[in-house]
Amino acid sequence: MAETPSMLDEVKRASKKGPPPVHLWNPPYCGEMDMRIARDGTWFHEGTPIGRAPLVRLFASILKLEDGRYYLVTPVEKLGIRVEDVPFIAVDFTRDGTGAAQNLTFTTNVGDSVTLGPDHPLRMAEGAPYILIRRGLEARVDRKSFYRLMEIGEEAEAQGERWFGLRSQGAFFPVIRAAELAG
């Protein structure tokens, strides 16, 4: 009798062909998995940190957000996991160009790389910056990167008032009202 492939086997098979198309997969819900992503970006399984970065990247590649809940999905199963804030941390960025031609490219703790812009916008929530990485999944920008970003920010008109913010791919992303920054 053939053995049913495990979730890990399915993930490994899918990842050999490039990023898994999790947005196309709609398998049945199979229950909750004892997996948690802490606010600092550490992944835990059954209460123990997952220390193998390749395994974390593999799990991150099959992470899906549906109706405000996070799941690990394969073509044949979907398991719920807990995420304390957002699943990723933007741990660094590079700057290419200046002014309107500036591009800010962020790298996450799981190796994703995206350029801030209309397809990957920045939002502020409770004083923390978040950037959209893929398919509704966000990364919180770490503190050291945020401080570096504030050194290259600029003032511009947005939403009918002056804002201090960031420009990338020709778009402006408000961070804080200029009046609040001055006060």
Q: Torsion over CA of 40, 95, 114 and 33, rounded to 10 degrees?
A: -10
Asked if the domains at 7-83 and 88-182 fall in one CATH topology, the answer is no
The pLDDT value given to residue 99 = 78
Q: What is the second-level CATH architecture of the domain 88-182?
A: Roll (2.30)
Sheet harboring 103-108: ordered strands across? Answer: 113-115, 103-108, 88-96, 137-141, 128-134, 122-125
Q: What is the pLDDT of residues 149-169, one digit of tens each?
A: 999 999 999 888 999 999 999
Regarding predicted confidence, which is higher, 181 or 134? 134
| pLDDT of 15 higher than 80 | no
The pLDDT value given to residue 82 = 98
Q: How confident is the model at residue 178 (pLDDT cuts 50, 70, 90)?
A: confident
The pLDDT value given to residue 115 = 98
* 7-83 is classed CATH 3.10.540.10: yes
Domains of the chain, by residue range, sit at: 7-83, 88-182
The pLDDT value given to residue 65 = 97
Q: How confident is the model at residue 2 (pLDDT cuts 50, 70, 90)?
A: very low
Q: Give the tokens for residue 1.
A: 């009798």
